[in-house]
A = this chain, B = another copy of it.
């Protein structure tokens, strides 16, 4: 079996983490760099990643996470946030990053900038936010793979109250909203989920080669 498949089979939605084990600085750097490299539509990266270490803060978030202890017990709590609105200054910042990275003049990027702004203006505010939130899910998918490769456990969660997270983390005033939560760390040997077989649809159900 290919190592990728072994790794992905090894991972599971961890419910009970070992609260004593911490992810090393080296591994955390790989995780962050992997998240930084996640591709997004237009390359815009309308995202922010909060790595919550503070245990008191996490105890506060626990109430807004339907009391799922992994939020507190994992080594780190990753909160993937997206922008609420896309502002012209965000697009300008992106153009400047392209220009400096590729040693280009800003004028060359004028059409690209206009395309992005037109794309954004043609969507209702809610649809635009929705589109930015979708980008967070690409990051989640890449994150889970990276963690599995590093033999770090992860628990992707949609089950939390985003409005309360936004309040506790002070996100709203910063044009951010929490989209996904993912505790990362190391499974506790007593986690009953370790032994539960992974349930997935069959290949014949999921795939069609045409």
Determine whether A181 belongs to the interface, using a CB cutoff of 8 Å to chain B: no
**A interface SS class:** helix
Least distance between A178 CB and chain B CB atoms (Å): 12
- Interface size bracket, A side: 35 or more
A68 at the interface (CB under 8 A from B): no
For chain A, residues 80 to 137, give those with C-beta under 8 angstroms from any C-beta of chain B.
Answer: 94, 97-98, 101-102, 130, 133-135, 137
Considering the chains assembled together, what is the distance between the CA atoms of A9 and B38 in angstroms?
10
User: Which B residues touch A143, using CB under 8 A?
Assistant: 141
Contact A32 B207 (CB under 8 A): yes
Cβ B210 vs Cβ A54 within 8 A: yes
Contacts of A53 in B (CB 8 A): 209-210
Closest to A54 in B: B210
